[in-house]
């Protein structure tokens, strides 16, 4: 078994970590005047009627399923900083702390079910209105709702990858092994569902972190296991970028739903759509990084807006 050496002081790691922290801290503020809701709705409806829409979704699509968003008015970023890839990869204590906290919080994410926003998008795809869905979410709810032409840009929490040998294991299977190694642990921790973060992480006292026992990879035995999701400070895999770009290339327009577009992995689709002369529409509860470039901006609850739009097609 080969463990990754401690590279926390490596200049390249330090720079990448600092860049990730800047991305995490980015606050999206108002840049343009809000658009009249009736005008925005009419524009979005015409865009959907034209068909061939690529939907780009963010955390605001899943809040009705009980999963908190990150940068919304009550988003988790105000009280919780996500772990960077550099911390997870090169700090064994930080990685152990993540798994202790995620072992408890993941159950809340795993119980989540698709809401009307997920279901409506799947229905619009089946009807030929939506060409495909590219999501920044890692909760698996679009697939559960029936979306087929789907790219999970940032991965999915239901898989775990070994950083040492590359073996992939289902999260449910890992959870069974963790439960055997930590009998009664999850049940003994008193969890307020409101403290669960979008990645399934929760705050735990250090005593509970110390008590937690991690298990190793089924193939090589390494404890360097990581949720198969893209962390801040980590690049989106090339194949996912290419599949998402293919959907946009074939789309007539881009519809952003429930995302502040604070991170470049999502914002770049707005930039690409504008460069290609394709209309951009946004439905979000608050301001987004793409507002100044969008044709239509509807400040509304995503589920309510999608239900209304779909009912008017």
For residue 270, which phi and psi values (nearest 5 degrees)?
-65, -45
In Å, how far are 80, 109, 185, 230, 249 from 198, measured between CA atoms?
Answer: 10, 8, 22, 13, 30
Q: Is the dihedral of CA 136, 77, 258, 296 positive or negative?
A: negative
For residue 248, which phi and psi values (nearest 5 degrees)?
-65, -40
With contact defined as beta carbons under 8 Å apart, do 76 and 69 qualify? yes
Q: Is the dihedral of CA 91, 84, 8, 239 positive or negative?
A: positive
pLDDT the model gives residue 20? 63
pLDDT the model gives residue 194? 58
Taking the whole predicted model, whether its pTM rises above 0.75 is answered as: yes
Comparing CA positions, the residue from 220, 227, 121 lying closest to residue 171 is 227
Comparing CA positions, the residue from 245, 30, 32, 208 lying closest to residue 131 is 245
Spatial strand order in the sheet of 296-299: 150-152, 130-135, 53-57, 253-257, 280-284, 296-299
- The residue from 108, 142, 154, 295 that is catalytic is 154
With contact defined as beta carbons under 8 Å apart, do 137 and 202 qualify? no
User: Is-catalytic flag, 118?
Assistant: no
* Secondary structure letter of residue 58 according to DSSP: -
- 165, two tokens: 């040998």
CB count in 10 Å sphere of residue 159: 18
Q: How far apart are CA 297 and CA 35, in angstroms?
A: 6
pLDDT the model gives residue 179? 95
pLDDT the model gives residue 18? 65
Q: How far apart are CA 257 and CA 117, in angstroms?
A: 9
- Can you spell out the DSSP letters for 86-127? HHHHH-HHHHHHHHHHHHHHHHHHHH----HHHHHHHHHHHT
Q: What is the pLDDT along the chain (313 residues), one digit of tens a residue?
A: 444 455 666 666 667 666 666 766 777 888 898 899 999 999 999 999 999 999 999 999 999 998 877 655 554 445 566 788 888 988 999 999 999 988 988 877 788 899 999 999 999 999 999 999 999 999 999 999 999 999 999 999 999 999 999 999 999 999 999 999 999 988 887 665 556 666 666 778 889 899 999 999 999 999 999 999 999 888 899 999 999 999 999 999 999 999 999 999 999 999 999 999 999 999 999 999 999 999 999 999 999 999 999 999 9
């Amino acid at each position: 078994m080969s463990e990754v050496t401690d590279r926390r002081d490596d200049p390249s790691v330090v720079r990448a970590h600092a860049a990730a922290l800047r991305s995490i801290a980015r606050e999206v503020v108002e840049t343009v005047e809000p658009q009249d809701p009736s005008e925005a709705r009419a524009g979005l409806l015409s865009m959907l009627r034209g068909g061939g829409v690529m939907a780009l979704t963010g955390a605001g699509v899943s809040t009705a399923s009980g999963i908190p968003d990150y940068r919304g008015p009550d988003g988790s970023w105000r009280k919780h900083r996500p772990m960077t890839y550099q911390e997870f990869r090169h700090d064994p204590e930080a990685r152990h702390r993540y798994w202790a906290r995620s072992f408890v919080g993941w159950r809340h994410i795993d119980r989540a079910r698709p809401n009307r926003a997920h279901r409506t998008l799947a229905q619009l795809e089946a009807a030929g209105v939506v060409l495909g869905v590219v999501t920044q979410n890692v909760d698996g709810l679009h697939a559960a709702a029936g979306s087929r032409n789907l790219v999970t840009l940032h991965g999915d929490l239901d898989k775990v990858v070994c950083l040492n040998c590359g073996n992939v294991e289902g999260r449910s299977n890992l959870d069974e092994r963790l439960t055997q190694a930590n009998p009664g642990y999850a049940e003994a921790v008193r969890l307020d569902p409101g403290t669960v973060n979008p990645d399934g992480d929760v705050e735990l006292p250090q005593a509970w972190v110390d008590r937690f026992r991690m298990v190793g990879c089924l193939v090589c035995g390494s404890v360097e296991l990581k949720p198969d999701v893209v962390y801040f400070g980590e690049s989106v895999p090339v194949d996912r970028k290419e599949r998402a770009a293919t959907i946009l290339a074939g789309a007539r327009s881009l519809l952003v739903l429930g995302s502040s577009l604070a991170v470049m992995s999502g914002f770049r689709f707005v930039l690409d759509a504008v460069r290609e002369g394709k209309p951009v529409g946004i439905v979000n509860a608050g301001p987004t990084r793409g507002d100044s470039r969008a044709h239509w901006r509807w400040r509304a609850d995503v589920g309510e807006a999608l239900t209304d739009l779909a009912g008017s097609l």
